[in-house]
Amino acid sequence: MSFGWTLAGTILQLMLANFLFMLVAFSGGGLASGGSPGKRELRILDMSLFLLPALCVLSACIVIFLHWRGGGAISYAWYALPLVATAFYVAYVTALSRRNRS
């Protein structure tokens, strides 16, 4: 693992954390004010506000830890963790939005 790639990936993960916080804040706010989501849906949206950015920080910490331990290039796969979670969030918000429209 290269120090340069680990540093670049960590910086990008921290930038992604800020972007995901704003994405969830605006999409969740739009859904909450535009429709009538239930308590369960609101809890999921509220939890996503902190969970998605936290996954970015967690994945960056894991890659840094593996870098210190001499991990291989496969360790960079941990950077995909928040991207997978974001795909699930976008699918959930899209389904919730379609349900509220009809």
Residues 40-97: pLDDT tens digits? 988 999 999 999 999 999 999 999 999 999 888 899 999 999 999 999 999 999 998 8
DSSP 8-state secondary structure symbol assigned to residue 29: H
Residues 14-47: pLDDT tens digits? 999 999 999 999 998 888 887 777 889 889 999 9
pTM, to two decimals: 0.88
Residue 21 tokens read as: 């916080």
Burial 18-49 (b: 16+ CB within 10 A, else e): eebbebbeebbeebeeeeebeeebeebbeebb
Per-residue confidence band for 9, with pLDDT thresholds at 50, 70 and 90: very high
Residues 6 or more apart whose CB falls under 8 angstroms from that of 71 comprise 1, 63
Nearest partner of 9 among 93, 55, 77, judged by Cα: 77
